[in-house]
């Protein structure tokens, strides 16, 4: 059975801190790993990773995939209160989501 | 900017009643997905369409759930009869191609009393 595990489940940090969110996966016919941000609504797409070791960046967010160790990390530097959300990762072929990491940024 | 549309946004129903949700994907997106997200969990795929054909419905509880996309554009997800455990957010997503980026709609929050 395909499985995606995220850690930590919950994280509370102060504004300006840097955070690292983890995602490990065991899926059949792995194709890619996706990160989403979910506030009080539908998930919004952040990154799609298909190759090991190639970092993807978007502003203060970055992510990298390790296909040998079957995990990915999402980094957020200089966190802001607007980063507070649930961060979901999902692995495909068949898109299987983890339960998410709830990130809370304290001003 | 093109968006996935869903209606209704909220639905409250009593158990044993029938409910239906509607989704209109981004124009030109051939692949459409229905997900169920229970509070505190990640979305769980219920059904995936490629144009009008079902590609994957292995997680769809077929005794009470049905989904269709008759003309390969918009889609309807139905539950009959609804049960208390069906209370969840029902999300629709679409993508240009099967393995492409998925764009999610705002969801329909279902409460079964």
Q: Dump pLDDT digits (tens) for B17-40.
A: 999 999 999 999 999 999 999 988
Structure confidence by residue, pLDDT tens digits, B31-82:
999 999 998 899 999 999 999 999 999 999 999 999 999 888 999 999 999 9
Residues in chain B with CB shorter than 8 Å from the CB of A23 are none
Mean pLDDT for the stretch of residues A53-59: 94
CA–CA dist B44, A78 (Å, integer): 32
Q: Which residues on chain B are in Cβ contact (under 8 Å) with A45?
A: 101-103
A90: pLDDT strictly greater than 70: yes
A97 with B99: Cβ contact below 8 A: no
Is pLDDT at B1 greater than 70 in this prediction? no
The pLDDT value given to residue B16 = 96
pLDDT of residue B73: 93
A3 and chain B in contact, CB less than 8 A: no
Does A21 contact chain B (CB < 8 Å)? Answer: no
Q: Where are the beta strands (DSSP E) in chain B?
A: 5-7, 10-13, 19-24, 31-37, 44-50, 53-56, 65-68, 75-79, 88-95, 103-104, 108-112
Q: Which residue of A has its CA nearest to B102?
A: A45
Q: Which of B42, B45, B101 sits opposite A94 (nearest CB)?
A: B45
- Of residues A23 and B101, the one with the higher pLDDT is A23
The alpha-carbon gap from B42 to the nearest alpha carbon of chain A, in Å, equals: 4
Cβ within 8 Å, pair A88-B106: no
pLDDT score for A1: 84
Q: How many Å apart are CA A67 and CA B6, to the nearest integer?
A: 36
Q: Is B1 on the interface with A (CB under 8 A)?
A: no
- Taking the Cβ of residue A35 and every Cβ of chain B, the question of whether any pair is shorter than 8 Å is answered with no
Nearest CA in chain A to B42: A99
Is the per-residue pLDDT at A98 higher than 80?
yes
In the DSSP assignment, the letter for residue A9 is S
pLDDT digits (tens, 9 = 90+) for A15-49: 999 999 999 999 988 999 999 999 988 899 999 99
Cα A71 → chain centroid: 10
């Amino acid at each position: 059975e395909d499985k995606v595990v995220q850690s930590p489940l919950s994280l509370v940090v102060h504004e300006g801190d840097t955070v690292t969110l983890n995602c490990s996966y065991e899926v059949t016919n792995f194709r890619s790993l996706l990160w989403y941000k979910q506030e009080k609504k539908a998930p919004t797409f952040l990154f799609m990773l298909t190759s090991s070791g190639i970092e993807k960046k978007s502003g203060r967010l970055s992510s990298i995939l390790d296909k040998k160790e079957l995990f990915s990390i999402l980094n957020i530097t200089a966190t802001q209160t607007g980063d507070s959300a649930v961060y979901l990762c999902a692995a495909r072929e068949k898109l299987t989501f983890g339960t998410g990491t709830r990130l809370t940024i304290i001003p | 900017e093109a968006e996935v549309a869903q209606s209704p946004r909220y639905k409250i129903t009593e158990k044993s009643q029938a409910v239906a949700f509607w989704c209109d994907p981004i124009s030109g997106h051939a692949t459409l997905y229905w997900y169920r997200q229970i509070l505190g969990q990640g979305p769980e795929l219920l059904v995936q369409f490629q144009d009008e054909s079902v590609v994957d419905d292995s997680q769809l509880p077929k005794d009470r759930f049905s989904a269709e996309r008759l003309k390969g554009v918009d889609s309807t997800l139905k539950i009959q009869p609804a049960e208390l455990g069906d209370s969840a957010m029902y999300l629709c997503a679409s993508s240009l191609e099967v393995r492409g980026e998925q764009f999610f709609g705002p969801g329909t929050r279902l409460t079964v009393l």
